[in-house]
């Protein structure tokens, strides 16, 4: 279990290799990577800035990760979330779960990103031709999180 909030980019290959290294009980690794899109809500986005609540962010991410381990038999998991100024195409978030079996790995990965999106205190501000705007929370994200009960 590991949680990191950082301004720097992450190296996906290196992070995943470290996550599974030496544990030959792992049969499946589920991964989700979120990236900055250059269009959102029909408007072009030239840059994005991510604000967060230091301290509470890490607590929430750790709590979400503990919940995933309580629900699925995971060998390892990782959440990395970037903050600060980002550009289209940049990595935002990496979520990964390793398990003996693929279904647990993939389900736990979906659960982590769904819960993160509704509980972890991050806020996105996008630069558009009409100026900067705070991204509105999406009802679809609440629905996605709710299906995990």
34 vs 88 by CB, closer to another protein: 34
Is there a contact between 45 and 95 (Cβ–Cβ < 8 Å)?
A: no
122 lies in the site for another protein, by CB under 8 A: yes
100 lies in the site for its own copies, by CB under 8 A: yes
Stretch that binds its own copies, among 48-56, 59-67, 77-85, 101-109 (CB under 8 A): 101-109
* Phi, psi torsion values for 106, nearest 5 degrees: -75, -40
Residue 56 in tokens: 């509470």
Among 14, 54, 131, 139, binds its own copies (CB under 8 A): 14
Residue 131 burial (10 A CB sphere; 0-12, 13-18, 19+): exposed
136 lies in the site for another protein, by CB under 8 A: yes
Binding to another protein, residues 12-71 (CB under 8 A): 34, 50-53, 55-56, 59
Residue 86 in tokens: 């980002």
């Amino acid at each position: 279990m590991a949680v990191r909030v950082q301004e720097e980019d992450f190296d996906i290959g290196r992070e995943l290799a470290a996550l599974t290294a030496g544990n030959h009980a792992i049969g499946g690794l589920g991964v989700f990577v979120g990236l900055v899109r250059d269009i959102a809500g029909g408007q072009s986005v030239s840059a994005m800035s991510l604000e967060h609540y230091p301290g509470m962010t890490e607590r929430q991410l750790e709590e979400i990760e503990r919940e995933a381990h309580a629900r699925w038999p995971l060998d390892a998991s990782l959440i990395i979330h970037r903050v600060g100024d980002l550009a289209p195409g940049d990595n935002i978030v990496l979520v990964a779960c390793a398990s003996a079996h693929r279904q647990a790995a993939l389900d736990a990965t979906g659960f982590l990103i769904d819960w993160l999106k509704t509980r972890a205190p991050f806020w996105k501000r996008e630069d558009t031709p009409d100026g900067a705007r705070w991204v509105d929370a999406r009802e679809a994200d609440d629905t996605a999180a709710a299906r995990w009960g």
